[in-house]
Structure 1
Amino acid sequence: MWSWLLHRITGVILAFGLVYHFFMMHFIQPEAYSYEAVIQRLSEPSWKVFNIVFLLSVLYHGFYGLNGLVTEYVKNNSLKRFLKIMVFIIPLGLAFFGFKIVFL
């Protein structure tokens, strides 16, 4: 029950996050695209929080969907077990690198 609800919540976060991202990155002044402007914006704590929430939402939403596909369509039990382990491990690795990028 909670995983299904979290999947829906992350979908809403992704919808609003994408609109916000596209507005900030594609509809503002051209000088906001400079390296210095982007680095300055990414050094602000609010942007770090936005990026982490967005990253975790993307990972959970996407890999929860992949887990559903594996559960429904893969019939071979050993392959299903392997894929379920990968669906758990890969997002952890991606989250690690995402945190590393945002905070370092």
Structure 2
Amino acid sequence: MPKTLSPSKLIPAGTLYRGREGQWSWVAHRITGVVIFFFLLVHVLDTSLVRVSPEAYDAVIGAYKNPIMGLGELGLVAAIVFHAFNGIRVILVDFWKQGPKYHRQMLWGVLGLWALVMIAFSIRHLSHVFGG
């Protein structure tokens, strides 16, 4: 495999991820996946409280109704939206013949769509969290 010269070392030519956009999207996809998994775990546990003790369930749900949890919900939605849009990009990179060629442009598209969705959601969500 031919090598190309990098400022710090030799890097195999032809690899998709070289510490640039592709690798950072890979890292962000894994992190958001783990965040979503742990949310789902907590969600199943707190929802199951309703069968054990409805009073305990009401107390937990009441504790969630504060601005800090509202910001946490915003972060969760941000993770879900990025993970979903980037997942579509990953599918296109893997299964579309031209996917690797356009992976960088698709990432910028993912980030643009993510920003649009999050701006719209944030305005509405934060008005409920802080406004009533």
Report which stretch shifted further, 20-29 or 59-68: 20-29
Identity %: 19
Q: Specify which structure has the higher proportion of strand.
A: 2
User: Which residue in the other structure is 2:125 paired with?
Assistant: 102
Cα distance in 2 for residues equivalent to 1:88 and 1:66? 12
Change (3 A) 1:100 1:21: farther
Q: Deviations over 1:42-87 (max 9, x none)?
A: 3x1221122012111111111111011123333479xx8xxx4764
Q: Is residue 2:36 matched to residue 1:14?
A: yes
Q: Which runs of 5+ in 1 are unaligned?
A: none
Give the AA of the match of 2:24. Answer: W
CA distance in 2, matches of 1:51, 1:12: 15
User: What one-letter code is carried by the residue in structure 2 that aligns with 1:48?
Assistant: G
Asked if the contact 2:36–2:79 (Cα under 8 Å) also holds between the matched residues in 1, the reply is yes
Contact 2:82 2:110 in 1 (8 A): no
**Preserved contact between residue 36 and residue 76 of structure 2 (Cα < 8 Å):** yes
TM-score, normalized by length of structure 2? 0.54
Q: Is the alpha carbon distance of 1:24 and 1:5 closer, same or farther for their aligned partners in structure 2, counting shifts above 3 Å?
A: same
Code of the residue aligned with 1:55 in structure 2: it is: V
- Whose relative contact order is higher, 1 or 2, with alpha carbons under 8 Å and at least 6 apart? 1
Q: How does 1:15-54 map to 2 (within 5 A)?
A: 15-28=37-50, 29=54, 32=58, 41-42=64-65, 44-54=66-76
Normalized per residue, the structure richer in helix is 1
Q: 1:92 aligns with which of 115, 119, 126?
A: 115
Larger Cα-atom Rg: 2
Distance 1:6-1:87 versus aligned 2 partners, 3 A rule: closer
For the aligned residue pairs, the C-alpha RMSD in angstroms reads 3.2
Q: Give TM-score scaled by structure 1 length.
A: 0.65
Residues paired across the two proteins, number: 95
Residue matched to 1:72: 94
By how many angstroms is 1:23 displaced?
2.6
- For 2:28 and 2:35, the matched residues in 1 are separated by 10
